[in-house]
Structure 1
Amino acid sequence: MSNLQLRLLTAAAGLPLILAVAWIGGWTLALVLAGVGLLAAMEFVHGWLIPSMPIRQVLPQLPTFIIAPAVVAAAHVEPRWVLGGFVFAGLFGLLGYLPTNAIGPRKPYRVYCWCVLYLGILPATFVLVRDVEQGREWFFLGLLSTFAVDTGAYAVGRLIGRHKMAPKISPKKTWEGAAGGIIAGIAAVFALNSLFETGVAASTIWHFAIAVPPAAIIGDLVESWMKRRMGVKDASGLLPGHGGFMDRLDSLLFVFPVLYVFLELRVL
């Protein structure tokens, strides 16, 4: 199969499943997201520590990086349990950034620290958003508006993109594409807010609308930067034609925390 055929086949199989799980919510969503988080955490640890070896070689380190998906699942039990993720990240960070090797190599601890923050704390907000009042509507609003930013940026960048945004990180991204993503993202938030009848006024949803595009773009750039530092093209080959789970989560990992903070401060 060509790469395009693989992408389409994976999307055809995965997208309906994602939408169905998000529609159901509850423990179904929490456990599926924890499973995705586990695979993404494997990619993260593999990419930062042993990118030249098969990804299965990270399995002996499972007791450490399984904390990230555990934080995601715990968010459905009690939102305050997510704070436990910060505790573990702080402990790993303390061990990883101490100016001594008395406890062994420090880099693995630094990797575990950022793994918990990036793939535990951030995706936990997916569960937190889905669990609020009208959580289904807000979850799909966040999901679809992020897709709108990515699609708008890609389409405009392909058509008229000339000025590189961050050539050393992601050579194909342009300022014209970013502008297209910003316009598409803002328009999508307003349209979806009306379509889903959230009851939030335009004067309030505006705060989230202007925050979505930069959050999505930054998330994409952060993922690209990490892969550059890891020296890999894709996080893994676990999703045929799409790379890895980290490659698919990139923008969403930054949009959903913004959405959750917006809901807590302006809506709930």
Structure 2
Amino acid sequence: MASSVRVTIDAPRRSNTIEFLPISVASSACDCHFSRCPSKTLISFRPSTNLRLSFLDGSKGMRIYNGRFEIRYNSPGIFTRTLVARADANLIGDEDPIEVIKDHGSSEVNAELKKQQKSSQLSKRVVFGLGIGITAGGVVLTGGWVFSVALAAVIFIGSREYFELVRSRGIASGMTPPPRYVSRVCSVICALMPLFTLYKGQIDVSVASAAFVVAMALLLQRGNPRFSQLSSTIFGLFYCGYLPSFWVKLRCRLVAPALNSGVGATWPIFLGGQAHWTVGLVATLISISSIIAADTVAFAGGKAFGRIPLTSISPKKTWEGAIAGLAGCIATSVLLSKIFSWPASMISAIGFGLLNFFASLFGDLLESMIKRDAGVKDSGSLIPGHGGILDRVDSYVFTGALAYAYVRNLLPLYGV
């Protein structure tokens, strides 16, 4: 894909001054292999000027010397994106400027470049996705303080991304964002919520108290307090802190043993034995695995069969992909229920899969709506190939709360 050429001109010092030679570039950068690259034409209106033309891409390349001119290129790679021209200051006069003209690359080469870029992005997504999945699996299996502290770290980063989205040009142009000190305090409060949940078992009073303190800080601030500041801040406490804390309730507070689990029977005693496999652990593993399956199958189904857009909020989502994701989510829930022998009822397993799918879908759509209003593609750039933390955990925000309510209130004896 053609990109704008950047030209840098420098010259050695002469009498404590630096003079720059005017250069004009009449092209866009050409990305191509050397064997296919069209000719580069250097038109000099002043033969006495000692000009060096370099094509750089940040890696080692071969060089071609032609009198006073030098061209660098990468023989096995791609021609450069940066054009750098240098001229000797002692030869600069008042003559006419030099014009550098570089031809455009062929469409075939541009297509090859796009293919390589997509392949590189896919490789990053796979590598970092596997790393995140393995790490998350270990954290879920460990549970306790490890799980809660890891969740607190994710919540803190995600809340920072949320408040940056609120302050972005797309959203801030239509509403007044909260002051930075308020958003930072809210991020800390959100990060503490899963720890309070682990220690106290519930955080309803703590969340209400935190919301009251934040509201008073906004109302008593200097200037003209706005309702948009209050609404975006209170929603941030709910969205980034309160809802994700239900994962701690699901994983760490449902301690009834999953006695029929075959996996638990073979679990090493030094790692906790069968007692380690609680209803909370099994429910968390099934819920997370179902969400991953739903996202993966929906993406594949949408790519292969997607025709009808699901919603204008996320134009790339299709009804065909959503149906495929639903089927994958239910199938994963039923399969894992057989492996873990939980929940005991097939209908309960299917219902758990349905709940996980719709909770993850609407969590994804909600974050897409926020990003659309903010005018950004990703919530951040922390994870190469994936975007920000919110881009990876948006499907899990509502799921933990609904999964906990389903197991705690709707399944008799917690589904055992």
The correspondence for 2:398, drawn from 236, 245, 254, is 254
Aligned to 1:76: 198
Provide the C-alpha distance between the structure 1 equivalents of 2:310 and 2:184, rounded to a whole number of angstroms: 37
Aligned to 1:177: 321
Aligned to 2:84: none
Structure 1 counterpart of 2:304, one-letter code: L
Is 2:168 the counterpart of 1:62? no
- Assess if the C-alpha contact under 8 Å between 2:186 and 2:237 holds in 1: no
- Assess if the C-alpha contact under 8 Å between 2:197 and 2:203 holds in 1: yes
Aligned to 2:144: 26
Q: SS at the partner of 1:171?
A: coil
Provide the C-alpha distance between the structure 2 equivalents of 1:60 and 1:196, rounded to a whole number of angstroms: 45
Aligned to 2:162: 44
Greater relative CO (CA pairs within 8 A, separation 6+): 1
Provide the C-alpha distance between the structure 1 equivalents of 2:403 and 2:287, rounded to a whole number of angstroms: 7
**Which deviations, in whole Å up to 9, do the C-alpha atoms of 1:214-253 show, x marking residues without a partner?**
2121111111111001111100011111111101111111
Aligned to 2:368: 224
TM-fit CA distance, 1:153: 1.2
The correspondence for 1:164, drawn from 279, 292, 309, is 309
Q: SS at the partner of 1:172?
A: coil
Q: SS at the partner of 1:123?
A: coil
Structure 1 counterpart of 2:206, one-letter code: G
Is 2:270 the counterpart of 1:126? no
Query: Which stretch has the larger CA shift, 60-69 or 12-21?
Result: 60-69
Structure 1 counterpart of 2:310, one-letter code: M
- Assess if the C-alpha contact under 8 Å between 2:169 and 2:374 holds in 1: yes
**Which deviations, in whole Å up to 9, do the C-alpha atoms of 1:4-25 show, x marking residues without a partner?**
2322332233222111111100
- Assess if the C-alpha contact under 8 Å between 2:330 and 2:353 holds in 1: yes
Is the alpha carbon distance of 1:224 and 1:194 closer, same or farther for their aligned partners in structure 2, counting shifts above 3 Å?
same
TM-fit CA distance, 1:91: 5.8
Q: SS at the partner of 1:190?
A: helix
Q: SS at the partner of 1:246?
A: helix
- Assess if the C-alpha contact under 8 Å between 1:21 and 1:28 holds in 2: yes
Query: Which stretch has the larger CA shift, 13-22 or 217-226?
Result: 13-22
The correspondence for 1:15, drawn from 133, 148, 156, is 133
Is the alpha carbon distance of 1:47 and 1:192 closer, same or farther for their aligned partners in structure 2, counting shifts above 3 Å?
same
Provide the C-alpha distance between the structure 2 equivalents of 1:210 and 1:217, rounded to a whole number of angstroms: 11
Q: SS at the partner of 2:387?
A: coil
Name stretches of at least 5 consecutive residues in structure 1 with no aligned partner: none
The correspondence for 1:150, drawn from 295, 298, 305, is 295
Provide the C-alpha distance between the structure 2 equivalents of 1:219 and 1:71, rounded to a whole number of angstroms: 20
- Assess if the C-alpha contact under 8 Å between 1:49 and 1:108 holds in 2: no
Structure 2 counterpart of 1:107, one-letter code: S
Q: SS at the partner of 1:251?
A: helix
Is 2:359 the counterpart of 1:215? yes
TM-fit CA distance, 1:51: 5.7
Structure 1 counterpart of 2:233, one-letter code: Y
Aligned to 2:225: 104
Larger Rg computed on CA atoms: 2
Structure 1 counterpart of 2:241, one-letter code: G
TM-fit CA distance, 1:74: 1.2
TM-fit CA distance, 1:61: 4.1
TM-score (norm 1): 0.88
Query: Which stretch has the larger CA shift, 198-207 or 255-264?
Result: 198-207
Provide the C-alpha distance between the structure 1 equivalents of 2:345 and 2:322, rounded to a whole number of angstroms: 26
- Assess if the C-alpha contact under 8 Å between 2:194 and 2:248 holds in 1: yes
Q: SS at the partner of 2:342?
A: coil
Q: SS at the partner of 2:316?
A: strand
**Which deviations, in whole Å up to 9, do the C-alpha atoms of 1:170-199 show, x marking residues without a partner?**
111001111111111111111111111225
TM-score (norm 2): 0.58
- Assess if the C-alpha contact under 8 Å between 1:86 and 1:117 holds in 2: no
Structure 2 counterpart of 1:114, one-letter code: F
The structure richer in strand per residue is 2
Structure 2 counterpart of 1:118, one-letter code: Y
Q: SS at the partner of 2:344?
A: coil
Q: SS at the partner of 1:178?
A: helix
The correspondence for 1:138, drawn from 249, 268, 283, is 283
**Which deviations, in whole Å up to 9, do the C-alpha atoms of 1:47-91 show, x marking residues without a partner?**
111469xxxx95784223211111122111122224422443466
Q: SS at the partner of 2:203?
A: helix
TM-fit CA distance, 1:102: 6.7
Is the alpha carbon distance of 1:250 and 1:61 closer, same or farther for their aligned partners in structure 2, counting shifts above 3 Å?
closer
